[in-house]
Chains A and B, each alone.
Chain A
Amino acid sequence: MSTHVFDQSRIEALQGQQAVRPWRQRPRKFVWAVAIASVAPALFVGALFFFTEIPGALLLIVFYLPIQMLAAALAAYVTRGTRGIADSVIIVNAIGATVFTAIILISLIGSLVVRGWSALSAHFIFQNNVYINPSTPLEYGGIGHAILGTFLIVLISALIAVPIGIATAIYITEVRGRAVPYVRFFVQAMSGVPSVVAGLFILTTLVVTGALTQSALAGGLAYAILMLPTVARTAEEVLKLVPEELRTGALALGSTRSRTVFQVVLPAAKTGIITAVILGVARVIGETAPLLLAAGNTDQTNLNPTGSPIASMPTYIFNNVALPYPDAVTRAWGAALVLIILVAVLFTLARFIGSRKPGR
């Protein structure tokens, strides 16, 4: 028996190497087969598209997908035998599903830009909807009142949901009381509450009883129900990333529990907390049903948080979608474009802030 002795440099060289994975090598024949299998069906179906009357969507699903599967299966059979067939079929379908999703997303974003663009202008952002009826041309009126209303409602809901959400996360990660599993369970369950139910709840407890009228406050409370779980769950994730040494260090220096949280843990997780707030805002900003029930709608600019109905971007879109006037519909597309840009900006912001390391 002999023991193998490796010198250090050889071990290091081995460690630097990628796994070889000989089964993943691609012979030349394989590349050719794949190339032919991907081009031929597309050419054939493309010819069908130009020379027959079959509609495009049908052509893609009923003709292209099976033909492409067949071609890929043939190519796989030629290069790898029967074992390759199942692989090729699943690869074709997986790419098909991805393309399907991408087409829908492109269609969504594309139609928003194409149809909403003509509505955009300075006055569309700043003016309100007073004196505007559905047939008024696009030179007049705008969504200024709805933008302000959305901001006011979201602000109110954030003022309620963010402190409670962060406190919930602090309970789970810092206080670590006996009820942690239950609290988590309830937060999870709360995140599944349908938005229309949140609106109904505020409607029946506050509006129907006369405690509040339809207003920004009522809408904000309904939004807060939807925002709270998102903030709590994201904040919990980021507080967990704060190193345990910081907590024990602060406690060892004689700090009290609350000072540890406020002066050490929360500042260390600052960027993560901001991300949690942004994600919470992005979660609710487009919700329509709760505002239809709890906030109502108006054409005027309204900055009074209680006492009178308030407009918002989702309800503005909702009210314009199915009107039989082209200009009203264009306004809906324009407002939708502004709303989606807002959501995209919020998400990019959350990504950007969230990608920075915690604890700085």
Chain B
Amino acid sequence: MATPELGQRDLQAAATSHRGDRVFNRVVTGAAFTALLVLAGIAIFLGVQVIPAFQSQGLSFLTTTAWDINTDPPTAGIFGMLYGSLLVAGIGLVIGTPVALLLSIFLVFIAPPRVSRLMTNFIDLMAAIPSVILGLWAFYILNSQAQEWQELLNQYLGWIPIFHNDSGNFQGTPFIAGFVLAIMMIPIVTSVTREVLGRTPPDLINAAEALGCSMWTMLRYVALPYGRGGIVGGIMLGLGRALGETVAVFFVLKIVFNTNWYNVIESGGGSVATLIVSRFGEVSGTFELNLLLAAGFFLFIGTLIVNVIANLIVARTGRLQK
């Protein structure tokens, strides 16, 4: 039996007719705006820190790469870190996205229900693994494996500029950091794409198969176009997380204040989030702290933009946020 939905006006009437309710209403509404308050607070308090950084460095704080705090005058620029964050997250996307997509295709269309349910539970657990543990594993287990892979990449594909390595040092490369981010992104992206693909109407699938579609043609012309928006949104959510990841990258990426443009298996790269944590331990006075906070502001703005776009895309494809 259907009950008429309570309209907003009914609720408003019920809410304002009693003094206790008016108080309740106001308290709850106030609490609901905490999220806005916190976001605004972060933007303002970190944003203020940008002013002294710009006063001392000008725009070169964003366009150059340097970190010589104790010279006079000090020079600091985070371009290499900003670019490095994008590069490492990009490597993560290149490795992680195909795996996540294929994994969700397996879970939705290929695996028997029991296998699918078991695997889904494991992937949820994987999403919950703290990043410091991922960093620990990457530092001791992945690192030695990745050395071998990188040497082979350099040996056989070294003629491609991005796989070129002159120094013979394969430690702390953007590739390893990107690989760790890929592992972090796989469960995040998979949980969204799996849900989107699972929402393909079964009638459409059965109709496509009855018309003689093979699985590939069904995916190509029915399931993937149907879930395209959600898939793109899920990938961007993963990207947002990757850009802000700190500790997992800290152990496997060597932070250097040179812009590493494309040598992904050459030692050294950049990451804003990791810069903050690695410099914070030995910060040499308020000026350097101020620079780190300013860097944090740009990290915040970057991830905020990526996340907002991702959420808008996912929300437009249909309500599927958890």
Contacts and interface: CB of A to CB of B under 8 A. Distances in A.
B110 A91 contact: yes
A225 interface: yes
User: Interface size class for chain A?
Assistant: 35 or more
B278 to A, nearest CB: 10
A189 interface: yes
B137 A163 contact: no
Given A105-B126, A237-B322, A57 B148 contact: yes
Interface in B21-58: 21, 23-25, 27-29, 31-36, 38-39, 41-42, 45-46, 49
A195 B277 CA distance: 11
B21 A256 contact: yes
Given A204-B45, A286-B133, A321-B139, A292 B209 contact: no
B82 to A, nearest CB: 14
A196 B35 contact: no
B243 interface: yes
B99 A55 contact: no
B247 A171 contact: no
Contacts of B36: 182-183, 186
B140 interface: yes
Interface in A281-300: 282, 285-289, 292-293
Contacts of A104: 183
Interface string A17-46: 001010110000000000000000000000
B273 A289 contact: yes
B28 A94 contact: no
Nearest to B32: A171
B32 A183 contact: yes
Interface residues of B, number: 105
A232 B35 contact: yes
A285 B21 CA distance: 36
Contacts of A49: none
Interface in A162-219: 163-164, 167-168, 170-172, 174-179, 182-183, 185-198, 200-201, 203-205, 208
A107 interface: yes
A340 B107 CA distance: 25
Interface string B133-163: 1111101110001001100100000000000
Secondary structure type dominating chain B contacts: helix
A200 B276 contact: yes
B18 A256 contact: yes
A111 interface: yes
Given A23-B209, A83-B214, A197-B42, A244 B6 contact: yes
Nearest to A258: B24
The 8 closest A-B pairs by CB, nearest first: A286-B130, A194-B244, A192-B307, A167-B31, A97-B102, A86-B216, A171-B32, A258-B24
28 contacts: A58-B152, A94-B105, A94-B106, A97-B103, A107-B141, A164-B34, A171-B29, A188-B311, A188-B321, A194-B243, A194-B245, A197-B46, A197-B303, A204-B293, A233-B322, A244-B5, A244-B6, A245-B3, A256-B14, A256-B20, A257-B14, A258-B24, A286-B130, A286-B132, A293-B277, A332-B136, A336-B136, A343-B128
Given A201-B46, A317-B133, A321-B136, 11 more contacts: A23-B210, A87-B214, A95-B110, A97-B103, A192-B241, A192-B244, A194-B300, A196-B273, A200-B293, A256-B18, A322-B251
Interface of A: 19, 21, 23-24, 55, 57-58, 80, 83-84, 86-87, 89-91, 93-98, 100-102, 104-105, 107-108, 111-112, 115, 163-164, 167-168, 170-172, 174-179, 182-183, 185-198, 200-201, 203-205, 208, 225, 228-229, 232-234, 237, 244-245, 247-248, 251, 256-258, 261, 282, 285-289, 292-293, 314, 317-318, 321-322, 329, 332-333, 336, 339-340, 343-344, 347, 351
Interface of B: 3-6, 8, 11, 14-15, 18, 20-21, 23-25, 27-29, 31-36, 38-39, 41-42, 45-46, 49, 98-103, 105-107, 110-111, 119, 121-126, 128-137, 139-141, 145, 148-149, 152, 183, 186, 206, 209-210, 212, 214-217, 219, 237, 240-241, 243-247, 251, 273, 276-277, 280-281, 289, 292-293, 296, 299-300, 303-304, 306-308, 310-311, 321-322
